Amino acid sequence: MTETLELTRALIAQNTVDPPGNERLTAMIIAEKLRSDGLDALVYEVAPGRTNLVARLCGSGEKQALAFSAHFDTIGVEPEKWSMDPFIGDIKDGRLYGRGAADMKGGMAAMTVAVLDILRSGDRLKGDILLTFSAAENSNCLGARRLVDDGHFEGVGALLVSEPTGNRAFVTEKGALWLRVTATGEYGHNAFSEDRKGDRGNAIVRLARYLDKVHDLQFDAPKHRHVKAPTINVGTIRGGLSTALIPPSASADIDVRLVPGQSAESVIRAFNAIAPSHISVEQSDLKLPVDTPDDHPFTRLCVEACYTEGVVDPGPAGVGYYSDGAVIAPVLGLPMVIIGPGEVGLSGAIDEYVDLDKLEAATRIFKRVARGYLS
């Protein structure tokens, strides 16, 4: 096995499903790998059981640093639906299978090996390469937020993320606005509700009728060159006390995928415009859209690296998911490009896999980007 493949399998073997995450063992695998070649790594908790890793390959300081970003946690898994063990890393017909193979332990391994290959070459680049590997991306990007708050991106000039792209260069990602909608009702017992009219004060019914309008809500959002229109998903609902009692409250959590140029405030106004008095809308989380210009020098460098390594359609392009870049790039004003060996759409999939050829190509692409940016 190649070094990148071996490391990816070692990472897959650790169950880092979020929740609860338990990223520490996976972080220690990366840390020990780096330390065996003399590169120190900082491993620290951002919450109980949630672990970040930061490592720096120092350059001469003549240029700003390049940050490599990836996350340890994965989407949940139902092992009984898989044709193999999701935490073994089986290899079959040119593919490596396992939870996180595509999203995004393959990309993380490729980034790690790329840095080690540059270290072993003895070449000293004109700027630092920073590995910023995080916890809890799939829930609230807690690890990435801490990396920003703790100042680890100081001196960084560009951000490369290894989320799944099939080794294409993505410069645009949608944002994610999470809303909690709450309906209030009039508590009572069904046995004594004969005189109630309309929705009969039932918070669940009120919520359901409102959500039906939300599902069909259309936004006046700007059109974008790489991503399609914003989307709305009612993800979870809760409410009720017992079968016979009229519920006094019910709520739903909603995900809105924002396009660049669309504000969270405009979406909340649209939700409020169709809300009756017994409905309230509050923001629970926000990951901003990211959009790096197609003609940005960092974009051109990344596209060229992908093309040189045989990617037929290297980009630039965009995608509907969000990454840790959503809480890093906009805050710090960094250009961001996403390149990863996994295929778009395999995140959380049954029998998730990464193509071995793309896994190895990703390692070479990351080296090209680093050398091009820092030489």
Q: Is 358 helix (H, G, I), strand (E, B) or coil?
A: helix
Beta strands in the chain, from DSSP E residues, in sequence order: 41-47, 50-57, 65-71, 91-92, 95-97, 129-134, 156-161, 170-173, 175-184, 188-189, 231-239, 245-246, 249-258, 279-287, 290-291, 317-319, 336-338, 353-355
HSE of 292, CA atoms in CB hemisphere, 13 A: 30
The pLDDT of residue 116 is 98
- Percent of the chain whose pLDDT exceeds 90: 98
Each residue of 93-133: pLDDT tens digit? 999 999 999 999 999 999 999 999 999 999 999 999 999 99
Which amino acid, 26?
T
Give the CA diameter of the chain. Answer: 83
| CATH level 2 (architecture), domain 175-287 | 2-Layer Sandwich (3.30)
The pLDDT of residue 49 is 87
Each residue of 221-261: pLDDT tens digit? 999 999 999 999 999 999 999 999 999 999 999 999 999 99
Among 36-45, 89-98, 99-108, 136-145, which stretch is predicted with the lowest mean pLDDT? 136-145
Domain ranges of the chain: 3-173+289-374, 175-287
Say which CATH class 3-173+289-374 falls into: alpha beta
- The Cβ of residue 313 has, within 10 Å, a number of other Cβ atoms equal to 10
CA–CA distance, 267 with 181 (Å, rounded to integer): 13
